[in-house]
Structures are given as C-alpha cells and as structure tokens.
Amino acid sequence: MREQTRPPYYHESMDWDRLTAEYEPPFEFMTGARLWSPERIAEEQLRRLRGAVERAASVPFYRRLWAEHGFSPADITSLDDLRRMPSYTIDDIRDSIERQPPLGDYQGVGFADAAHTPLRIYTSGGTTGTPRPTIYTQWDREVGAILSARTFYMQGIRPGDAVINAWAYSTHNAAWIMDHALWHWLGAIPITTSTGNVTPTEKQIEFAQLYGAASITATSDYLLHIADTARRMGLDPRTDFDFKTILSFGDTAAVEEAFGVPTYDSYAFHEVQYLAAECEAKDGLHIFEDAFIIEIVDFETGEALPPGHKGNIVVTALYKTGTSQLRYNIQDISASYELSQCSCGSWHKKLDYFQGRSDTMVKLRGVNVWPEACGKIVAGHPGVTGEYYCYAERVAPEGKVARDEMTIMVEKADGTGDSAVLRAELAALLKQKTGVAIGVELVERDGLRELTGHGHRAKLKRFEDRREAGR
C-alpha cells in the first residue's frame, strides 16, 4: 500500500474571503466593481499587473522571452509600460511544448504541486492546431467561475433557474467552467446535456420542456440547430418553452429571432475563461477590467491601435496564479470602443464582437479575406441554412501562374430551387462584399457536420488550409 498522505481538501485550500473581496461574485459585482470609475479601475489594474508580472518572472518561458527582448519586470511603473513587454502567440506556445513536452515550460505549476493545492488541466479545442494544455490552480478556477457567473447574471440568469449546458464536456474548459459558475456562484441548476453527440438534440429539447429550462448555453450554430430541430418535432421555439434568456456565442440576432427571447453574446477562450460580456444595452462587450487588460494591435506590426480600428486581441490576465497570460496575442480579431459610460452605468471598457481569426486570413489577389466574414455574408441568403466551411488551395490553371483560391461550402435550405441559380447568387454576393471572386460549393442539409465537427466540437471548425498540398 502506498504511503498515506492527507489531501489538500478543497474547502481548506484557499482564503475564500480574500477571493470574494478581490473578485466580487455576480450579485455584489452589479453594485460594486462594475461601477468603478476609470481612475479606480486603472489603480487596481496597476496593482494587480505588478503582482502578475512578479509571478510570471519565475516561469522559464517568460524569463527567456523577456531576456530576448530586453524587458525587465522593473520596467513596469505605469500601465503604459505594459507595451514595453513583448507579446507572444500560439506559435510560441507550440514551440514551448516542443521544447519541453508534454506541458511546455510556460506553466507556473506542475502536477506535483497538486499534493498541496487542487489543480485542474484542460486543453484548447485544437481548431487551430495541436491542443494547448493549461493547468489551473484552485484560485484560477474560482476567479474564472466568478467571471462566468457575472456574465450569466448580467444576461438574465437568476438563482433557481435550470440551464441546459449544451457545450462539449470534454478536455476543453468551456462546459466545465460554465457548470462550475452556474452551480457554485449563481444557485442555478445546470442540466449537463453536453452536445448533440452525447445527448441527442431531440432529447435536449425534451429536457428543456420537462424541466422548464430558463436558458440554454451553446454556440449560436448549435442553438439555431436546436430551434430547427424543435420545429421538425412540431414545436414552436418562441412559444412552447419557458426560456427567459439565451446565452450564445456568435450570431445573436438570428438566435433571438428563432427563440423570441433576449440573446446575449460574450467573449472567452480556454486559458483565461470569460473575458468580456454583453450587457442589457447590447452595444459591445464589457471587459472585466478588474481581471484583464486588453489591447488591440495591428496585424502586421503589433503596434497598439486606437478605438474603432480592427486588429488582434492581446490579453493580459491579472488574476492567474498557475499559467500566466501576459500580452498574449490570441489572434482573434476585434476592435476597442471609445471610453464612455454605458447606459447600464458601467465604465468598464468595451470590446467589439468577435470578427474571426487573423491566422485564418487568406490573401486573394491582394485582398484580405476571412472565412468567418464569408460565412456571415452567405448566412443572410434565404436559400441556405447558415452552415458553412471554407478551404483555401493553391490552384494552377493550365498555362497560367499558380495562385491562391478560396472556396466556401454552404448547406442548402430545404426546398431550395435551382442550385445553379443559388450558386451564382451567392458567388455574386461574395464578390460584391469582399471585392474578390470566391468559389461556392453547395451541399445538402447536414452535409458539413463531419467537416465542422457539429455535434461534438466545443467550437466548430470553419476553415482548412490545403495550400501546402498544391505547392
């Protein structure tokens, strides 16, 4: 028998009073940190930034990165000094994992630390390459759950609400942190259906009716699939359920139209959990500035951009104690808003809605084209379901110079007429909006599920780069 060792019991392993004082739970947040002045926000950010930099200074990944760029933690004397710190991308994380597999040298804790503090490990979904592991301390998980609970509370979830959690319960963080937030920090009841690959969509609809679910949380793609499936079952998504609000990621307008209740967007990714959330004003996403500093930088130069200019999101997480994220260029595309007080009363800065990824950008005849933008363009046509999948390839027509081309595969709606006409209409619409010709392939309903991962991926795959095969 192995030696007996007392575990680090969860309820004993953290100062809970300090946690809730530093990062207010949803009810207290609404009348507390949410209403801080810009001056108070900046003061707290600088204090927390210094702590975050101090923690990261002991991590090999950051020591090496900072030394290569001549940066020292002592350089941080104001928030403006953060720009002196070098940023990094997913490619640097992949290099770190190759250098020191399987966890890389960017983690601030290791498995052995679980002997004295509770740890969790999750990975990214792998839609942009090899999944990235992240180890979370108990503090990181609880702060992340509080930020998630704030999001849900701002968007209408209340104690006693049953919520269908249709995210994938897997090695990805998303479903788990939502579940944690709903149960531990909101007094809501998560119904853990997971995706349609685990619990058939028809059964999820039955659960929603049976238990009088107040909400569903899922991607907009899957929410629209749920609405469509309900109609096929003879139900009206707008009148045959008790939904009060819908928690979505993506096209909230289409989901709101389908279900007839307020539908809200938010922004999160697996390493840092919930980062920004839409409020009742529905005018951008409030950044949780007590937990993050967000910059928008130029795609090519990495220079900071003023409000209203589209660029890459660079994230500095102020609360992390396990795996730090300091000036992490996640390569998601957005823009910042001009600082002003929202009609909801908050001064927390706003982020524009997610607009795709810069690392999936394809340059066609000098024009930057994003798959997500193409998906939005075709989704408005009545002849399609809204499901799409793009691929780029290197094409060499006979007698001509090889060049990059992109094709969008689109699912036809039921009862669609002449496919040739529909294909021509979509091609013309894409050229009008993007300024460049994009190929169109039509497939039958559900014909893209295997490519996108619909039903089992936490985040659907929308793009494939096939250009290397053509070189």
pLDDT in tens, 452-462: 987 666 578 89
Domain that holds residue 370: 361-465
pLDDT in tens, 27-79: 999 999 999 999 999 999 999 999 999 999 999 999 999 999 999 999 999 99
Alpha helices in 69-107 (DSSP H): 90-99
Domain co-membership, 281 together with 406: no
Looking up tokens 């004003």 gives 281
219 belongs to a structural domain: no
Global pTM reads: 0.86
Domain with 7 in it: what CATH number? Answer: 3.40.50.12780
Burial class of residue 37 (count of CB atoms within 10 Å of its CB; 0-12, 13-18, 19+):
exposed
Domain co-membership, 15 together with 140: yes
415 belongs to a structural domain: yes
pLDDT in tens, 425-453: 999 999 999 888 999 999 998 899 999 98
| SS3 category, 430 | helix
Domain co-membership, 368 together with 325: no
pLDDT tier for residue 325 given thresholds of 50, 70 and 90? very high
Distance CA 349, CA 275 (A): 12
Mean pLDDT for the chain?
93
- Contact call for residues 293 and 316 (beta carbons, < 8 A): yes
Count of structural domains within the chain: 2
Distance CA 239, CA 261 (A): 10
Per DSSP bridges, beta strands 350-351 and 285-287 are antiparallel
Instruction: Indicate the Cα dihedral angle 440, 441, 444, 445, nearest 10°.
Output: -50
437 belongs to a structural domain: yes
Domain co-membership, 366 together with 417: yes
390 belongs to a structural domain: yes
183 belongs to a structural domain: no
pLDDT in tens, 381-406: 999 998 999 999 988 777 677 888 99
Domain co-membership, 134 together with 145: yes
Domain co-membership, 92 together with 7: yes
- The pLDDT assigned to 96 comes to 96
106 belongs to a structural domain: yes
Domain co-membership, 82 together with 100: yes
**DSSP strand E in 195-322: where?**
215-217, 246-247, 263-264, 266-269, 273-278, 285-287, 292-297, 311-317
12 belongs to a structural domain: yes
Domain co-membership, 36 together with 130: yes
Mean pLDDT to the nearest integer, 145-167: 98
Give the count of beta carbons closer than 10 Å to the beta carbon of residue 14.
17
